[in-house]
Amino acid sequence: MAVPKRKISRTNRDKRRTHDRIKIVNINECPRCHSKKLAHHVCQACGYYKNTEIIPQEKDAKGKPIKKEAPKAEEKEAGSKEKEASSKEKEAEVK
Ligand SMILES: [Zn+2]
């Protein structure tokens, strides 16, 4: 087994760890459906980006889009900022 020749100094260890922090995700409100979405990304709720339908949505008989549950994989990627936002949303829904 390879063994390090000498101890890594506190400075070098901390310099390596400067890149380990969780990035803050930039979340905006969708101008069309007012749900939370990633900035410069297609809205996952309504499938629109800059008033253009990118992801065609399934529509019911009245022409309204059928709501689907948001994918959970996105929540895992997002940092603590989204968790705060989602908890605030839940609080708003309770009221
Ligand atoms: Zn939307």
Query: For the segment 20-68, what is each residue's pLDDT rounded down to a tens digit?
Result: 999 899 999 998 889 999 999 999 888 889 888 888 887 766 666 666 5
CA 29 – ligand 1 centroid, Å? 8
User: For residue 86, is it within any domain?
Assistant: yes
CA 25 – ligand 1 centroid, Å? 18
Distance CA 31, CA 48 (A): 9
pTM for this structure? 0.45
User: For residue 64, is it within any domain?
Assistant: yes
Q: Please count the structural domains in the chain.
A: 1
User: For residue 13, is it within any domain?
Assistant: no
Distance CA 39, CA 3 (A): 45
Antiparallel, parallel or unpaired: β 48-49 and 36-38: unpaired
CA 52 – ligand 1 centroid, Å? 11
Domain that holds residue 31: 26-94
CA 95 – ligand 1 centroid, Å? 23
User: For residue 66, is it within any domain?
Assistant: yes
CA 53 – ligand 1 centroid, Å? 10
